[in-house]
Amino acid sequence: MNYNDELTQTNVLHWNYRGFTEFPLNELKGEESEVTDIYLKENLLTRLPSNIGVLEHLESLYVSGNDITELPREISKLRCLKCLDVSGNRLRRIPDEIGEARSLKFLILDENELTELPLRISELRRLRYLSVCDNKLRWLPQRPVYNYHHCEFRFWRNCNLKTLPYSLWYHMFRDQQTRCLNIGCLDAATSQNTNNRNNQCKLKLSQDSNEIEVKIECPPQHNVILESKYYSPPSLYEICRRQFYQMIITAVKKLNPQTYSFYSEHVTENLYNEHNNNNLVDLQENFHSINIDPRDDKYSDENGNKYKSVSVKEAVYRKATKPYYVPADVLREHFDFLPNVLISDLSSGPVSTCENLNCKKAIFDHVYYEFCFGEIILIDKIEDVLLSATFCSKYCADYWKRSKDALPWSLEN
Ligand SMILES: [Zn+2]
């Protein structure tokens, strides 16, 4: 077979099902830089060559259905590579250098033996499709893709994956991208470990006379899972945090109506302005009935250092040093008359917001869960169709449930 003839005609090499045991680079005879697409599916390759970088204009590489155990670090040299399909191999890990293959748009890693993804995968800013189904993933990086909104990603059937990074979890519900949800973190319960209720939801589901128990690892910040079937309100402390958080956000917006920014410099600038000063006084009035002495020397920061409380008036003239997107600095500077425990919780901001898009109230650690079938396609097993969404209140959970195919469930002890 004259490979060069195939090459000069199209720059696309069709080498599927040829029984190759080595990547046939030597067949290219000096034409390496001309090749744009290589199909090497269903051969007997065990590795890709370390001089693969000579394929400098390679845009697509299809090597699914081989026996490849490792990708060379030199994969980073394929600067034009847009599509890499290495599904159905025996890959145990992906080299960090994959992050340098900056043109990658489609990365297909299904059916391998991966236990983790390299952190640098998030450097692939052009990535539009990432699929890592049927692997042995144990965890996902906080930011598995650079841009959640432009990338479709799938992590189906990784049964060792017990948790999702909170950022991903949050994004999925926020953008209704639940069909991409990592189903693997929903694992059928195998033991009757009833003591461990920490951050874990144990569900009993029934469908078509099948009954199944499912464990769900919730984000660690969600300490209290409430079932909307019963009327069990969040604790007063949780409600208190939500209320104060709302007041603080309102205050920050009032102080800085142009940008609605939380940057403390802006807030301080506005406070210097006499016309805006009244807002702060109004706010102090709101808190007046709490009757906490701001000079109480019990106040200390999280390191146990006592800090000197200052009056709101004094605080106005303090120069803020750190800008935060959570209102931590605003709190420390201007709301130091609040109880310290509240300041500390509010400073880190809420862990999530209500999934009812008309509500979006802050949620700290009490949350109502609901489960539904969502828009999942390719359903294999009942465990695979479980989705969840989180709400601030029974009202919001019920509201959402009306428009969704919600799954009947009960919380097991
Ligand atoms: Zn709500």
For 352-409, write each residue's pLDDT tens digit: 778 787 887 888 888 888 876 544 444 455 555 566 778 888 888 888 888 777 777 7
Structure tokens at 211: 């009954």
Alpha carbons 127 and 136: distance in angstroms, whole number: 22
| 18 and 156 belong to one structural domain | yes
| 147 and 22 belong to one structural domain | yes
Of 70-84, 212-226, 244-258, 378-392, the range with the lowest mean pLDDT is 378-392
Alpha carbons 240 and 409: distance in angstroms, whole number: 29
Q: How far is the CA of 38 from the centre of ligand 1 (A)?
A: 51
Q: How far is the CA of 289 from the centre of ligand 1 (A)?
A: 27
Q: What pLDDT is attached to residue 47? A: 95
Range of the domain at 82: 3-161
Domain count, the chain: 2
In a domain, 404, yes or no: no
Q: How far is the CA of 404 from the centre of ligand 1 (A)?
A: 16
pLDDT tops 70 at residue 318: no
Residue 153 class from Cβ within 10 Å (0-12 exposed, 13-18 middle, 19+ buried)?
Answer: buried
CA atoms within 13 A on the CB side of 347: 20
Confidence of residue 255 (pLDDT cuts 50, 70, 90): low
Question: Mean per-residue pLDDT for 300-325?
Answer: 34
In a domain, 68, yes or no: yes
Q: What pLDDT is attached to residue 341? A: 79
Q: How far is the CA of 399 from the centre of ligand 1 (A)?
A: 9
| pLDDT, tens digit, 9 for 90 and up, residues 111-121 | 999 999 998 99
Q: What pLDDT is attached to residue 80? A: 96
| 113 and 16 belong to one structural domain | yes
In a domain, 134, yes or no: yes
Residue ending a domain, among 289, 318, 347, is: 347
Q: How far is the CA of 400 from the centre of ligand 1 (A)?
A: 10
| 136 and 18 belong to one structural domain | yes
In a domain, 361, yes or no: no
Confidence of residue 172 (pLDDT cuts 50, 70, 90): low
pLDDT tops 70 at residue 124: yes
Element (H, E) at 61: strand 60-62
User: Pairing between strand 60-62 and 37-39?
Assistant: parallel
The residue that leads in pLDDT, 305 or 205, is: 205
| 16 and 120 belong to one structural domain | yes
The residue that leads in pLDDT, 91 or 185, is: 91
Question: Mean per-residue pLDDT for 130-145?
Answer: 85
Q: What pLDDT is attached to residue 219? A: 63
Confidence of residue 286 (pLDDT cuts 50, 70, 90): very low
In a domain, 409, yes or no: no
Question: Mean per-residue pLDDT for 304-327?
Answer: 35
Residue ending a domain, among 316, 347, 378, is: 347
Average pLDDT, the chain: 71
Q: pTM here?
A: 0.57
| One-letter amino acid for residue 348 of the chain | S
| 46 and 152 belong to one structural domain | yes
Supply the CATH number for residue 154's domain: 3.80.10.10
Q: What pLDDT is attached to residue 200? A: 64
Alpha carbons 6 and 27: distance in angstroms, whole number: 11
| 142 and 17 belong to one structural domain | yes
Q: How far is the CA of 266 from the centre of ligand 1 (A)?
A: 30
Q: How far is the CA of 391 from the centre of ligand 1 (A)?
A: 5
| 244 and 153 belong to one structural domain | no
In a domain, 214, yes or no: no
Residue ending a domain, among 347, 370, 401, is: 347
Report whether 142 contacts 119 (CB < 8 A).
Answer: no
Question: Mean per-residue pLDDT for 195-208?
Answer: 61
Q: What pLDDT is attached to residue 242? A: 85
The residue that leads in pLDDT, 180 or 111, is: 111
Q: What pLDDT is attached to residue 329? A: 67
Q: How far is the CA of 359 from the centre of ligand 1 (A)?
A: 5
Q: How far is the CA of 281 from the centre of ligand 1 (A)?
A: 30
| 140 and 7 belong to one structural domain | yes
Q: How far is the CA of 88 from the centre of ligand 1 (A)?
A: 43
Q: How far is the CA of 367 from the centre of ligand 1 (A)?
A: 10
In a domain, 109, yes or no: yes
Q: How far is the CA of 394 from the centre of ligand 1 (A)?
A: 8
Q: How far is the CA of 111 from the centre of ligand 1 (A)?
A: 39
Q: How far is the CA of 403 from the centre of ligand 1 (A)?
A: 15
In a domain, 120, yes or no: yes
pLDDT tops 90 at residue 75: yes
Alpha carbons 143 and 145: distance in angstroms, whole number: 5
Q: How far is the CA of 335 from the centre of ligand 1 (A)?
A: 26
Q: How far is the CA of 123 from the centre of ligand 1 (A)?
A: 35
Q: How far is the CA of 201 from the centre of ligand 1 (A)?
A: 20
Give the percent of the chain with pLDDT over 90. 27
